[in-house]
Amino acid sequence: MHGTDRVSTSAANLVRRPALAIADIHADPATRCISGPGGAITVPPRVMHLLLVLLDAQGAVVTRDELTQAIWNGRFVAEDSLNGAVAELRRALHRAGAERIKVVTVPKSGYRIACPAPAKPGEDTHLLADRSRRAIPRRWFMAGGAAAFAGLATMSAWRVTSTPSHADRFVGRGLLALRQGLPDPQQQGVADFQRAVKLDPDHARAWGLLALSLRAAAEYSPPAQVAGRRAEAELAARRALAIDRQEPHAMTALALLMPSFGNWLQQERRLRQVLEVDPQNRFATAALATLLMSTGQVRACLKRLDFLERLDPLSPDLQFRRVYTLWSSGRLADADATADRAMQSWPNHPAVWFARFWTFAFTDRADRALVMLHRSPGRPPMPAQAMHLLNVSLEALSDPAGGSKSQAVAANKRAAAVGPGQAITAIMVLSALGEAAEAYEVARGFLVQRGPVLVNQRHTHAQPSVTDQHHRMTMMLWIPATQNLRLEPRFGELCTDMGLVRYWKEAGTGPDFRGGSLTTI
């Protein structure tokens, strides 16, 4: 269908409708407000009309033609008008915290509302579910928009037993995998999200999450697979946005497909656009926190991570980042407590393990880091060369005046050329050992490809796989271990060459280590 996207039923008809309570939400047609545990959302008239039509159907399937007739009174509208209205309704319910109410797509037919609730005492739940799905006479819909809402006064007591759609089950499973933040392309929830969109091709959120999971898988894939997975991620994001032009996970995926290094301001703006649409989107918030840390805005990063912890305290991907950020904010005791709790919950998570390891190593507790390296059952798999490098580095950090320091410096300089993981380790260790000039040369070779040290820019299978160490990242420049590097006279030149000074000027901010000012950089 084509033509104008104009709702036929006037606002006056909504004003006359009574407010109603369904499961964990309240809907007020007069104000077009949907409210629940997550907050209150004002929706366009067509979205409120859609909700009311589906609710009045009491769980029965309403066909696409019937919905179009009821909402637009049979006027010709664009093909995706109904898709857009459904996507907006789903987003509004999600933002309102309506976890028990689902708008379920019935493939090749239409939509229905699923709202699980217990049956009345003595009532057969199967009969209740069956009765709720009885077909509604077609003339009910053909009577036009105003008549379509005639029975809503009694809706506040309505409940329907149902189970979540199969697609939503796979979405839930995929989310559990994706939020772990594991550096394994097979553990990003891709397969579950693919099954979800196969079951429900109009599930915009599933497509958006598929895009995010494919983007994450590309981060940790062998070089030959990276381009293909990134292309698949973009296609999934575009599919989500075709269904819902503001699907927040798809918007986040497209923002993250752009490498952040050198594009900080553009990526920041895109992530903030996502948060304008969905202020509690955990993936966009986490990505923005990482960007803020990458650009030296440690306090602003911590504020975002604290907000995330209230939303999702059981995510290891969040907790390991809080360890570094708390430490970098001068709150070592809080960082230790967070690291210890994270290790109790996720002892085998590589990023959690390394967060605990490095905070020991660089806070005069290298002996404890040595114990972790040799005795911890949760230690990530490491090749012999990596074990040797860490061992030599910890011995030097334990006794900087001893004879092992020169060996550690030489070993880290050699290893830095192998790839991002070794380069990041070398920058931290050399700086912590007081070798700021050596740390600067490694950072220069790694981050701007200049100077005597040239670093392989891509992670290889010979390296331990750790989150955020597969390509050029700059978070390590702002932790306490690299303080000597920041004091190196040429550090400002490095920031200029990376494009960070330009970012700070355009963003109107500055790094915390300079008090948020650009005057001394």
CATH number reported for the structural domain that contains residue 77 in this entry: 1.10.10.10
**Residue found by looking up tokens 């933002």 in the block:** 95
Q: Which domain holds residue 38?
A: 11-163
d(CA 87, CA 208): 12
Q: Which two tokens stand for residue 112?
A: 């229905």
- C-alpha atoms less than 13 angstroms from C-alpha of 455 in its C-beta half-sphere: 31
- Per-residue pLDDT tens for 143-185? 333 333 333 333 333 333 333 457 888 888 888 888 888 777 6
Low-confidence ranges of the chain (pLDDT < 50): 1-12, 117-164, 463, 465, 467-469
Closest CA to 436 of 456, 409, 414: 409
70 lies in a domain? yes
451 lies in a domain? yes
For the chain, the distance separating the N- and C-terminal CA atoms, rounded to the nearest angstrom, is 59
What radius of gyration, in Å, describes the C-alpha atoms of the chain?
Answer: 27
81 lies in a domain? yes
d(CA 130, CA 46): 29
- C-alpha atoms less than 13 angstroms from C-alpha of 285 in its C-beta half-sphere: 21
d(CA 209, CA 214): 9
What does pTM read for this prediction?
0.69
Closest CA to 155 of 24, 320, 259, 17: 17
- The rounded Cα 181 to chain-centroid distance in angstroms is 10
369 lies in a domain? no
Please state the domain count of the chain.
2
343 lies in a domain? no
d(CA 34, CA 39): 8
Report whether 220 contacts 184 (CB < 8 A): yes
20 lies in a domain? yes
494 lies in a domain? no
- What are the DSSP calls for 115-182, one per residue? ---PPPTT--HHHHHHHHTPPPPHHHHHT-HHHHTTTGGGGGG--------HHHHHHHHHHHHHTT--
Other CB atoms within a 10 A radius of the CB of residue 222 amount to 11
Examine the fold and report which residue of 134, 163, 192 is the final residue of a domain before the chain moves on.
163
Examine the fold and report which residue of 163, 181, 207 is the final residue of a domain before the chain moves on.
163
Closest CA to 362 of 229, 484, 217, 268: 484
Other CB atoms within a 10 A radius of the CB of residue 448 amount to 16
- C-alpha atoms less than 13 angstroms from C-alpha of 248 in its C-beta half-sphere: 22
Q: Which two tokens stand for residue 505?
A: 């000027």
Closest CA to 60 of 146, 153, 133: 133
- Per-residue pLDDT tens for 423-436? 999 999 999 999 99
**Residue found by looking up tokens 């809706």 in the block:** 155
The one-letter code for the residue type at 1 is: M
Residues in CB range of 88: below 8 A, 6 or more apart:
43, 44, 47, 244
18 lies in a domain? yes
